[in-house]
Amino acid sequence: MTQEIKFLQGNEACLEGALKAGARFYAGYPITPSSEIAEMASQRLPAIGGVFIQMEDELGSMAALVGASMAGAKAFTATSGPGFSLMQENLGLAIMTEAPCVVINVQRSGPSTGLATKPAQADVMQARWGTHGDHAIITLCPTSVQECYDLMIYAFNFSERFRTPVIFLSDEIVGHMREKVVLRDDIPVVDRAFPQCEPNQYKPYKAGDDKVPPMAYFGSEFIFHASSSMHDETGYPNNTSQNADKVIRRLYEKIYDHRDEISITKEFETEDADVLFISFGAAARSAREAVKMLRSGSIKAGLLQINTIWPFPDEKVKRLALRAKVVLVPEMNLGQIINEVIKFSCGTPVFGINKVDSTIITPLEIVNKAKEVLQNA
């Protein structure tokens, strides 16, 4: 089988991945540095029978995704900081109604409208906790154009498999750089499980052992109620405390029980690493380069690259941190993922490498910090 090889921008690769995964609906509101995704979606989707719609704002975009998802489409959107903030309301709606969909946030420098065209990685905790209430969330982070394509397919797969929104946390650097990408065919595409019972027996929120309820679509023989408010297996309101406890825990556990299936990380030279970098997105690229530079100077460095940042890969961090002398966490913010790392570092000292001037953390900056820390260790 010949697989297409292209030279694409990260944002373009996201769209290719989405189409490969079967996406047929996009609703969004343009914002730098994500707009290329909307523009390409508007061209490609209608030609394959899909729908692109430019909504009046991101509140509406996210709500439209939920409607489209319930009508049976694989749905997605792309945005950045200010738009991602507006999406938080109905991201919660997608969680509560269990509407599979994918939300791409190409991170830019904030707060507020901030430095619109410049990169940052400061929405890590917003991705985890931006929408109110107890909830679990899956968040994937690409470090390259190839990963934009690959992980986008996984993002849709996870959303379909677990009936949940998935956040695709890219950044301006990865989104706008151009690299070679193989539009591979070897990642199997997953579709939501359709109910197997009789239509009149169908309960839209009755889950089996895996805690994920099978999903019908509007217009099928399976009539159903989906609700933003507390509901039981039938989809109709049930405000008892027992029910609330059951629902909130199931929504959480359907993701946390399957974290092994969801967790994607990559390790570079971690086997014997004294200096362990833990990073994600654009910063992980520099960290990987720093590993090479340090190794050539005979300092044993290694990198744990986190692609699934939520749920956080705590077991993996524990295992690797235990063996290292120091752990360093480069990230383009004032310290977000480092707090998770510290929780699981098993006493190994952890240092941040942080930058918020909207320029990338360079490999040399990482190397220098590693040497400084080692000297004092």
Partner 1 sequence: MPKNIFDYIIEDRLPFFWCEGCGNGIILKSIAQAFADLELEPKNIVVVTGIGCWGKADDYLSTNSLHVTHGRALAAATGVKAVNPNLKVVALMGDGDGVTIGGNHFIHAARRNMDITAIISNNFNYGMTGGQYSGTTPEPSFTATSRYGSVEPPFDICALAKAAGAPYVARATVYHVNLLERYIKNAIQKKGFSVVDVINICPTYYGRFNKLKSPVEMMSWLRDNSTMKLEDGNIYNNRFAIGEFVNEDKLDFSTKYAQLQNNARKLSVQLEQDLSGK
Q: List residues near partner 1 by CB under 8 A.
A: 24-25, 27, 43-44, 46-47, 49, 51, 53, 55-57, 59-61, 63-73, 75, 89-90, 92-93, 97, 218-221, 223-229, 235-237
Q: Which residue number, 1 or 47, has a Cβ lying nearer to partner 1?
A: 47
Closest approach of Cβ 272 to partner 1, in Å? 50
Residue-wise over 4-28: b if at least 16 C-beta within 10 A, else e?
eeeebbbbbbbbbbbbbbbbbbbbb
Q: How many other CB atoms are there within 10 angstroms of residue 87's CB atom? A: 30
CA dihedral for 21, 23, 28, 30, sign (positive or negative): positive
Q: Which residue number, 16 or 172, has a Cβ lying nearer to partner 1?
A: 16
Q: Which residue number, 55 or 125, has a Cβ lying nearer to partner 1?
A: 55
Closest approach of Cβ 131 to partner 1, in Å? 11
Q: Which residue number, 89 or 269, has a Cβ lying nearer to partner 1?
A: 89
Q: Which residue number, 34 or 90, has a Cβ lying nearer to partner 1?
A: 90
Q: Which of the 8 DSSP states describes residue 237? A: B
The Cα 150–Cα 142 span in angstroms is: 9
Torsion angle of alpha carbons 311, 314, 317, 323, nearest 10°? Answer: -170
Identify the CA nearest to 66 among candidates 37, 95, 46.
Answer: 95
Closest approach of Cβ 231 to partner 1, in Å? 8
The Cα 127–Cα 141 span in angstroms is: 11
Q: Which of the 8 DSSP states describes residue 231? A: B
* Cβ neighbours of residue 57 closer than 8 Å, sequence gap 6 or more: 29, 86
Closest approach of Cβ 38 to partner 1, in Å? 15
Q: How many other CB atoms are there within 10 angstroms of residue 197's CB atom? A: 11
Closest approach of Cβ 10 to partner 1, in Å? 23
Closest approach of Cβ 312 to partner 1, in Å? 28
The Cα 68–Cα 106 span in angstroms is: 22
Q: Which residue number, 96 or 301, has a Cβ lying nearer to partner 1?
A: 96
Q: Which residue number, 39 or 269, has a Cβ lying nearer to partner 1?
A: 39
Closest approach of Cβ 279 to partner 1, in Å? 35
Residue position matching structure tokens 């830019």:
108
